[in-house]
Structure formats: C-alpha cells, structure tokens
Structure 1
C-alpha cells in the first residue's frame, strides 16, 4: 500500500468503528493497512484488538504469524500460525509461517520437530502455487539434505512465478555446489540486476572466481563488495587469500593489517597474517602474531597447532611439543564436553 492510500483506508475503517466499536474486521483492516506500510508495532496492536472481539479471526492470527516470522520471533509466529490453521485450514500463508518458524527453531534446539516442515510447505504450495517464499524454503530444505538437483528444480519453479533475488541467490549456491559455475554466475548477474546495492552477489561471485583460478576477477568482485559495505571485514580476509594465491604477499599483509587495526582481538586475522609472514621468511614476525593470538584466546587449538609447527620450523622443538600437548588436552576436553 502506498503511503498516500494509507490514511484514507484507515479512516474508512475508523468510520466503521464509529458505528460499530466492536467490529473485529475493522480493527483487522487497520492492522493490515499498518502492516502494508511496515508499521508492525501498530499492526500488532490492532490485530490483537481484532482478536479480542473475534478470537477465531484466522486472518488476524495469520497476520501476526507473518509479522513475528519476519521479526524472527519464531515461537510466537508458530503459535499464531497454529491458531490460524485451526480456525481456517486453507490459508496457504499460515502453513508457510508454521513451516518457516519450525525450521528456524529446529536450528537452535534439539528434540522432535514442532511440525512436519516439508509437509507444511507442500500444503502451502498446493493451496497457493504462486507462493514463491515456500519454494525458496523447500529448496533450502532439499539442499540441506544434499538433494541439489531437486533443490534447483524447486528454486526454478519459484522463479517461474517472477524474478526474485533470494531465489536466484539460492539457486546459484546449488549450481556452485554441483560445479555448474556458468549457471551460478548467470544467476548472480540476475541477483545484481534486481538488487544493485547488495554486496552478496559480488562476494559469492568472487568465491567462484577463486575456485576457477580467476584471481584478477575475484579482486574486482571483492573490491565492488567493499565499496558497497566498507565495514564487512570478511571481504578483506577473503581478498587477502586471493593475494596469497597470486604471491602478492605485501598486498595480503595490507588487508590483514587493516582487519587487525579495525577489529581488536581478532585472533583469526593474526593467524592468517602469521602464515603470510612465514611465506615471506619473516618467522619472528609470524611468531609474534601467534603469541598475540594465544593471549587473545588461550584455548584456541588452531593457534597452538600453528605455533607448534612454526616453532618446529625455527628449531624450538621443546616449545613446539608443549604447544602440541596443550592442543591435544584441549581437544580431549572438548570431546567430553568441558
């Protein structure tokens, strides 16, 4: 809904409330108007008022399920979707919200699933074959089970409905998994066309460039991603790896130094920079970085193992063995849950 249409729509519903202050549908109409202009707090308030007068108003419960799902309040979304389905079993969106909420809840908690996610997605698609969000989540679920060809088919069916950046992104990832890079790159180009200010297609394409040993193009793509989101330091970390492959060690150091200066206590960047120092023969500088990384996180087995290898290289066998022993002890503690 355009903002210029919002006021008249709300006023019309309020006129209805003047004559019938208990009209649940009028409150729901106001809630939906607020939802359409992304005023979700007001939408929740009016949907709740609608439900207070008509507890079985499935459309209001469905609206709340959608808002809570978008806000990543998945428990509330699941609760509202269940009520909506109980009240009106043929609303496609409600099955999607229940499936989506249950899927994300399952990622952070153990135990049996809250619902049969795939069954709900299939039901949503049967009820509304144009629900592209359902195709996106169904494809994601298939991809998580390594059913990549089925996932691609699902994403493609969603794209038949209309262009969608999320679906292009997901299908590109599936193509990449199957080493179908030309198709992956074509999807990323469509993603960029739809969302020119998003860094994601450039980051993803740079990763493919790197896989194909197209290092110059990878540098271009990481550079574009950096222009769009200068504060995403993962781009600097990834570009540094490309520089290492190209044996441009000074450039790699510059990127790692940038991250270390900007993100205090980044032990991973210190470990990576130490690797470059080793390649350059600057072993003392490499050791200083690993010592610093160990101070930041004394329980990092990655740092201890890296430092043990460097100490071996420097002829400091006893110190190397101490690091290896400590790394082994930490690994054993992790296995038994300490």
Structure 2
C-alpha cells in the first residue's frame, strides 16, 4: 500500500511553524503561507484521486517554500511515495533518503526505503534500515520480522533465526514468527522441525493459507512433489488474494511435475504482482 502523510498532518505541521510568526511579518510572507497551504492541499487531493504526475509537480512547487526541516521531511516522504507509485524507484530512494537526512527517525519513511532496497536486491542497505528501526523500537515485531526475512534472502539463517526467536520470546503466540522459523528450518534442511511447526500452524489456522504454503515448500524441497501439489492447491483454496510468492511456489511445483505451461503462467502472474507491490498498488 502506498504510504503518504495526509493533508491534515502536513497542514498542522505547517501551521505550527508559521502560525506564530505571520502577524509580525510582511504581507508577502502571508501570501507565501497561503500559497503553500493551497499547494499542500492540492497535492493531497491529487494523490487521493491517483493523479501522481500532478502530485509530483505540486510537491516540487511546495518544497522550495518550506525551510522547517520536519515539514520538508514530510513533503519529501510524500514525494518518495509518489515516485514509488510511478515506478521511478531511483527517484523514490533519493526522496526518502533526503527526508531521512532531515529527520532520521521517520519510521514509515525508513521502512519504505528498506522495502525498496529489499525489492531491488540491495539487501545490505535494507538490513541497515531495519536494524535502525529495531534499535528505535526493540519490541516492534513487524520490523524485526522484516529484517529476519531479509536475512533469509541473504542466506544468513542464524541471524534470521535469532530475530524470530526474539519475537517468540516476547510473544509466544506470534504465528508469523513461527511461520518464519519454520521457513528457516526448511531452508536449512531441518525438515522434521519445520513440518512440526507447519502442522501446528495448520491446526491453529485451518482455513488460512499460511501453513499450507509453507508445508508445500517443505515438501517440494524434501523431494515430495505430490504432497507439495496437494498443499499448494489447498493454500489457493484458502485465500481470495493469492500472493506473488504463492504463485511463484506453485510455478516451481508445476515445473517439477512437468507442467511447463502452468509454471509459465504462474511465474508471469508473480512478476506482475511483484511489480505492482513495489509501486505500492493496492
């Protein structure tokens, strides 16, 4: 989902930095303040209606009018998410980085930048951003889980396991952490431990795809494609919105059993969904 700072938040920030000074300043300053308020409102409306080129233009007009670093950081964050929706990822990274240079503790901005880093293969940069967030919010399960998944992508399984176990130490009922740990066990060949965790997930969430998807991957890697196909079919039955990862996994299973046409169709779908996710499409 595209994350932008809403008009109300931005307007409050601008009022806070201008409201106490306008009466003592020149009339021209009042004109600038009024123009800035209109630009901020207009960019918010452009984003709401999906007119991202117009939002970009308005944000670029507003930025030179703002000197307060926190307000600039807010607008730069919005500009980054607009570029993200336009699939201009290099520009999005530049905008997010500029915002963080002004306020390094903007969690949603850093999270957005980390997501782009991870999606574009810049895993070490993603780790650095998530590590910063984990330091800021040591008990935040989402940031720690995301860092664990980046570690998995880097095949740094011990560090991924440490993050997931840390989540479970504070929240023994975290199903996402249990699923992540089962994935680590799967990828490190600890199939019995992984299967026990997946069986437990399926028992607790029989109508959800999470456990079936993981166990299908386990069966595929352990040389049981028939069981993998059974579980992946069940995973698709349990969700109205299959993920790109689910399509990609079914493609791998179809290829193993010799159904190249189905494998190609699923991979194409996964690629389209991944591109949309990076842009921030709903």
Normalised to the residue count of structure 1, the TM-score between the two structures is 0.53
Contact 2:40-2:59 at 8 Å conserved across structures: yes
285-294 or 153-162, larger mean C-alpha shift: 285-294
Aligned match of 1:120 in 41, 54, 58? 58
Residues 104-157 of structure 1, C-alpha deviation per residue, up to 9 Å, x if partnerless? 553xxxxxx398211222233222242212111211222344433332322222
1:150 alignment partner in structure 2 = 91
Length, aligned pairs only: 234
Equivalent residue number for residue 212 of structure 1: 154
The match for 1:174 among 98, 105, 116 is 116
C-alpha offsets along residues 243-274 of structure 1, whole Å, 9 cap, x if unaligned? Answer: 22111112222332232222231135324313
CA distance in 2, matches of 1:283, 1:274: 8
Matched, 1:140 2:81: yes
The alignment partner of 1:154 has SS state of: helix
Give 1:225 shift: 3.9
Gaps of 5+ in 2: 1-5, 13-30, 270-282
- Report the CA distance shift for 1:215/1:133 in structure 2 as closer, same or farther (over 3 A): same
Q: Where does structure 1 lack aligned partners over 5 or more consecutive residues?
A: 1-63, 71-87, 107-112, 314-319, 332-338
Q: What does residue 99 of structure 1 align with?
A: 43
Taking the aligned partners of 2:111 and 2:141, their CA distance within structure 1 comes to: 12
Say which of 90, 104, 118 aligns to 2:33. Answer: 90
Q: Say whether the 8 Å CA contact 1:96–1:121 is kept in structure 2.
A: yes
CA RMSD of aligned residues (A): 4.5
Counterpart Cα distance in 2 of 1:116 and 1:221: 42
Question: Secondary structure of 2:202's partner?
Answer: helix
* CA deviations over 1:58-86 (Å, ceiling 9, x no partner): xxxxxx9517999xxxxxxxxxxxxxxxx
In structure 2, relative to structure 1, the CA distance for the partners of 1:193 and 1:96 (3 Å cut) is farther
Which of 192, 195, 199 matches 1:250? 192
Secondary structure at 1:265 match in 2: coil
The offset of 1:292, in angstroms, is 5.2
Alignment-derived partner of residue 237 in structure 1: 179
CA contact (8 A) 1:69 1:101 kept: no
Note the C-alpha offset of 1:283.
7.2
Alignment of 1:272-291 (within 5 A): 272-277=214-219, 279-280=221-222, 289=231
Indicate how the Cα distance of structure 1 residues 203 and 307 shifts in structure 2: closer, same or farther if over 3 A, else same: closer
| Alpha-carbon distance change, 139 to 284 in structure 1, aligned in 2, over 3 angstroms | closer
How far apart in 1 are the matches of 2:189 and 2:175?
21
Q: CA deviation at 1:211?
A: 2.1
Q: Within 5 Å, which residues of 2 pair with 1:53-72? A: 66=8
Secondary structure in 1 matching 2:207: coil
Match of 2:140 among 194, 198, 214: 198
Select between 300-309 and 124-133 the one with higher mean Cα deviation.
300-309
TM-score under structure 2 length normalisation: 0.62
In 2, distance between residues paired with 1:154 and 1:69? 20
Question: What secondary structure does 1:90 align onto?
Answer: helix
* Partners of 1:98 and 1:115 within 8 A in 2: no
Residues 211 and 282 of structure 1: is their aligned pair in 2 closer, same or farther, counting only changes over 3 Å?
Answer: closer
Residues 146-186 of structure 1: per-residue CA shift (max 9 Å, x gap): 43333232222212322222222223333334544333322
State how far apart, in whole Å, the 1-side matches of 2:82 and 2:74 are: 12
CA contact under 8 A between 2:220 and 2:253: conserved in structure 1? no
Give the structure with higher Rg (CA): 1
What pairs up with 1:4-15 in 2 under 5 angstroms? none
Q: For residue 128 of structure 2, what is the aligned residue in structure 1?
A: 186
